[in-house]
Structure 1
Amino acid sequence: MNAQGERLTVEQVLALAPDAASRAAGTRLAVPGPWSGTGAGTCGTGTGGRVLWGECKGSGGRPYRTVVALAHGDGPAYQCSCPSRKFPCKHALGLLLLWAEGGDAVPEGAGPPEWAASWLDRRRQRAEEATSGRAVDATGGPADPAAARRRAERRAARMTSGATELEQRLTDLMRGGLAGVRDAGYGQWDETAARMVDAQAPGLAARVRDMASVAGAGGGDWAARLLEECALLHALNQGFLRVGELPEPLAATVRSRVGLTSDAAAVLAAGPLVRDHWLVLAQRDSDDGRLTTRRIWLYGRGTGRMALLLSYGAAGRAPELSLPVGMSVDADLAFPPAARPLRAVLGTRHAAPVACPEPPPGGDAAAALRAYGEAVRDDPWLEAWPVVLAEVTPVPGDGELGWQLADASGGSALPVGPRGSGDSLGLWRLASLSGGAPLRVFGECGHAGFTPLAAWAPAQLPTPVPL
């Protein structure tokens, strides 16, 4: 048993992997052969909880030293002397898998060795310093409300100037027509995006880059898709320039879409807090070359509410926030104001995660489309909405027809979108879980189709399998 309540299962460990290659490499290291000096015990450096450690033989003369802290406040934390830029690396995954399988490969020890305890102690010190700093800010000590207000006013002025400039550029684009856009290259898009970054409007910059991707991708409908992106960006610009005239939920959505986000501590302090037993549905990382973004989807077993946790890491480094997929977490969430609240901030966890006795309820394809349509009604810039499909059968693509998820009743089907169809390994894993029979699938339903993220095989309920 660990400090999170119970030993992680193999499926939960694999769900922590940043990608499929790491899962495969970690699985190959989940054998005693390359390991020495392994152990598990209670950390004695003040961080509390359980710790795993071990040395794994690599290609060099020195083994890689690996340590995993299982009771880290934001989920498992990892340290390895290997040069990998992935978190967790294959050695951390291998050690976790070796421990998850039980047996004597990772024996109980009195405490971690010095090299592991030193890293844990440094983590504890940094956590105490960060907590101390937040406590000072919360009391209003060194914080300067007047200076903060002046900074906010200056940023608002820059963002307004940026949105006005972007509107003029869109007008010029429409007047000149879209015919020559595809041959103009990325230079004009990069320059426009850079101007939005200078205006401190990262949301506008991101949408400009999306337009560049549409223009560069080509295809028979590229002009229509680019016109749609122009219309959405125009609506967002106009909304921001007239944000004072909008209803507050929609105004909050517009501000966040442009790039004005709230600090997590401020969101938690403002409340209200939603306490529930949150089932961890899926976790997925993406890397755009600048940041690694981790998305963790949750379902409130009492409220029936969906939530999305976002965390970030430097390019090539996975964020530390990690929750075991398939477990239920008794915790508080705070949702920033929005017309259709989804993104949340994780607050206090009142108990260790426990295994969920059953998967979340689901609906059919029509219900999924209806849920997405209702969400877009409130937030026109929404790409997709998380839904659970109760009984669908994956149907592989044939010729021009791509993968689909067909209702068991045979009444309708959802096409798998580009993001899902790009991961052929995940789709074939979904097909193998199904074996031709209906199964429950969680994913995101959007205008481009359905992206499967996890599934519950009938023989393996209630543990979801990441896709």
Structure 2
Amino acid sequence: MNPQGERWTAEQVLAMAPDASSRKAGAKLAAPGPWSGAGTDGGGLADGGAGAVWGECAGSGSKPYRTVVDLAGQGGPGFHCSCPSRKFPCKHALGLLLLWTEGEKAVPSPAGPPPGWAEQWLARRRQRAEQAAGGGADDGPAQSAAGTEAARRRAERRAQRIASGAAELEQRLADLLRGGLASVGGAGYGQWDETAARMVDAQAPGLASRVRELASAAGSGAGADWAARLLEECALLHTLNQGYLRVERLPDPLAATVRARVGITSDAAALLASATPVRDHWLVLAQRDSDDGRLATRRVWLHGRSTGRMALLLSYGAAGRTPELSLPVGLALDADLAFHPSARPLRAVLGTRHAAPAPSPEPPPGGDAAAALRAYGEALRDDPWLEAWPVVLSAAVPVPAADGNGWQVVDADGESALPVDPRCGGDGTDLWRLAAISGGGPVRVFGECGHRGFTPLAAWAPEAVAL
């Protein structure tokens, strides 16, 4: 890793960009020319400043775009710009931060208090964070009791709807298997769309997602393994249905896992108020966005320096909007995390941040391919519906497979290897980039190990590189 003094590096800023076009547009604005009044009050420094960067950027109109970034917000960096962009961060915020990485001459620090327009936004943002942390402590006992009772009734109604949905799915699976898998091969998605929609109506988005996976397997209808994949998806869906229909009889950790898998998750504010926080210096390992056309999802992976725990933060944006949570890849946060209840806790909510992001002295420790498979297997034992588990390979060499079909990451000693998930990399650019970083030698790689293979997400060789 090569932090640029005490400020973030350009790579860490660009890692927060929502897409490639934003990175390109932001880079064009990383020059003093379009900016006026740019300043910072010390945010992002190792000694932990107030954490704000601001400036006005000349645009096509008569008025400049006013941009401010809160680097030390409790929920992660916050971005505000008067431009009409629906992306977070927008190109102006990226350009301002890139300019800030260039040092004191570009964006002086400290530059005194923020201008009034920036200070007002920062004050409102931090007030909302304090109110969220307070959790409504000023509510009277009667109002609190009434709210609790109403929440309990809503939860009961939802549980009944999900149970009805699970029972309906069981009948659908029975009909499918009774008719034979061959009857659905190549039939496409149409016959499953209504079933998935009914699971959404039953407030069970997790079941709906499983139905779509089953539809994908049924719709492939080609190749030697489509029937095996379809049967696997049927078995996983059946197991989840049966687990939910008997959830009250399950051990608490497994019951929490089943509820999460059908789509019942804890409210972030309630989780922060009730769960025991885990404080650590959390290294931001990687950040990835995905979009299914209905919802944009941002996944941020963290590693605790002292606890050794992995954590996953999720943030969502409605169609057309990028998720707001964005953390600087390669820096460490001294912060509290609250983990969602589960037999194998991984997903977490970001709580109190005790200092601004700072450089991490070293990457996380790792192991070989066998250790990665063992970690995934142990996690799978607790959560049978788990797709993959985050791991670090300490010395891996990325190579194309000998038959030209896909890639592998091979241990430096050549004793074992992991196939790369065939869904990874799209046109292969990221994999060739990883190979270039490696130069034919071993590199430390972070990624997810699952039943479809290994998905590389970041590498250190010798500088941290987000893939």
Fold shared by both chains (TM-score > 0.5): yes
The residue number in structure 2 matching 1:91 is 92
CA positional deviation for 1:397: 5.0
The one of 365, 378, 384 aligned to 1:374? 378
What do the CA deviations read for 1:314-365 (whole angstroms, capped 9, x no partner)?
A: 2232333333222222333232332211112223333333221111111111
Work out which of the residue numbers 171, 182, 187 in structure 2 matches 1:184.
187
Secondary structure in 2 matching 1:451: strand
- 1:214 maps to 217
Alignment of 1:364 with 2:368, yes or no, is yes
What secondary structure sits across from 2:365 in the alignment? coil
In structure 2, the CA distance between the partners of 1:29 and 1:216, relative to structure 1 (3 Å rule), is farther
1:251–1:182 distance in 2 versus 1, CA, 3 Å: same
- The 1:184/1:329 distance shift into structure 2, 3 A limit, reads same
Q: How does 1:279-428 map to 2 (within 5 A)?
A: 279-397=283-401, 400-422=404-426, 424-428=428-432
- Offset of 1:416 from its aligned partner? 1.1
Question: Can you list the C-alpha shifts for 1:187-241, whole angstroms capped at 9, x where unaligned?
Answer: 3211101111111111101111122233334541222212211110011001111
1:237 to 236, 241, 255: 241
For 1:425 and 1:91, how far apart are their aligned partners in 2? 27
Does the CA contact (< 8 Å) of 1:456 and 1:465 recur in 2? yes
| 1:101 aligned residue | 102
SS at match of 2:136: helix
The residue aligned with 2:46 is none
User: What CA RMSD, in Å, does the superposition of the two structures yield over aligned residues?
Assistant: 2.6
When residues 134 and 433 of structure 1 are mapped into structure 2, their CA distance, relative to the original with a 3 A threshold, is farther
User: What SS does the corresponding residue of 2:283 show, helix, strand or coil?
Assistant: strand
1:174 pairs with one of 164, 172, 177:
177
Give the TM-score normalised by the residue count of structure 1.
0.89
Letter in 2 for 1:38: A
| Aligned pairs (5 A) from 1:119-158 | 119-124=121-126, 126-127=128-129, 130=132, 134-136=136-138, 141-144=143-146, 145-158=148-161
2:420 counterpart letter in structure 1: V
Bigger CA drift: 102-111 or 163-172? Answer: 102-111
Secondary structure in 1 aligned to 2:335? strand
Question: What is the DSSP-based 3-state SS (H/G/I as helix, E as strand, rest coil) of the residue aligned with 1:359?
Answer: coil
Q: Which residue of 2 aligns with 1:78?
A: 79
Q: CA 1:360–1:128 in 2, change beyond 3 Å: closer, same or farther?
A: closer
1:28 counterpart residue number:
28
User: Equivalents in 2 of 1:128, 1:364: separation in Å?
Assistant: 43
CA distance in 1, matches of 2:164, 2:325: 36
What is the CA-CA distance between 1:131 and the residue it aligns to? 5.2
Identity %: 74
Q: Which runs of 5+ in 2 are unaligned?
A: 44-48
Partner of 1:66: 67
Q: In the alignment, is the contact (CA less than 8 A) between 2:445 and 2:460 conserved in 1?
A: yes
Letter matched to residue 146 of structure 1: E
Query: In the TM superposition, what is the alpha-carbon distance from 1:121 to its structure 2 partner?
Result: 4.5
- The answer to whether the 8 Å contact 1:393/1:439 transfers is yes
What whole-Å deviation, never above 9, does each CA across 1:141-183 have from its counterpart, x for those lacking one? 4452332222222111111111000110111111222334354
Contact 2:287–2:329 at 8 Å: present in 1 too? Answer: yes
TM-aligned CA deviation for residue 129 of structure 1: 5.4
In 1, the alpha carbon distance for the partners of 2:294 and 2:270 equals: 26
How far, CA to CA, are the matches of 2:141 and 2:159 in structure 1?
A: 26
Deviations 1:46-99 (A, max 9, x none): xx9233233434456654432222222222211223343221122211110111
DSSP 3-state at the match of 2:137: helix
8 A Cα contact 2:334 2:354, kept in partner: yes
Q: Residue 17 of structure 1 aligns to a residue in which SS?
A: coil
C-alpha spacing 1:124/1:304, structure 2 compared with 1 (3 Å): closer
Amino acid at match of 1:338: S
Q: Does the Cα contact within 8 Å between 2:387 and 2:451 map onto a contact in 1? A: yes
Q: Write the letter of the residue equivalent to 2:318.
A: A
Query: Does the 8 Å CA contact 1:75/1:320 hold for their aligned counterparts?
Result: no
Q: Check whether the contact 1:74–1:323 (CA below 8 A) recurs between aligned residues.
A: no
Question: Which residue identity lines up with residue 51 of structure 2 in the other structure?
Answer: R
Q: Is the 8 A contact 1:388 1:441 kept in 2?
A: yes
SS at match of 2:163: helix
Q: Distance in 2 between matches of 1:22 and 1:185?
A: 36
- Which deviates the most, 161-170 or 223-232? 223-232
- CA 1:377–1:105 in structure 2 vs 1: closer, same or farther (change >3 Å)? same
Q: C-alpha displacement at 1:8, in angstroms?
A: 1.6
Amino acid at match of 2:69: V
The 2-side partners of 1:112 and 1:445 are apart by 45
User: Are the equivalent residues in 2 in contact too, given 1:68–1:78 (CA < 8 A)?
Assistant: yes
TM-score of the superposed pair, with normalisation by structure 2: 0.89
Deviations 1:277-312 (A, max 9, x none): 222211222222232222221212222221112222
Q: For the structure 1 residues 239 and 137, does the alpha-carbon distance in structure 2 shift closer, same or farther, using more than 3 Å as the test?
A: farther
Alpha-carbon distance in structure 2 between the residues aligned to 1:89 and 1:101: 19
Q: Secondary structure at the match of 2:207?
A: helix
Distance 2:93 2:151 in 1: 42
Q: Secondary structure at the match of 1:406?
A: strand
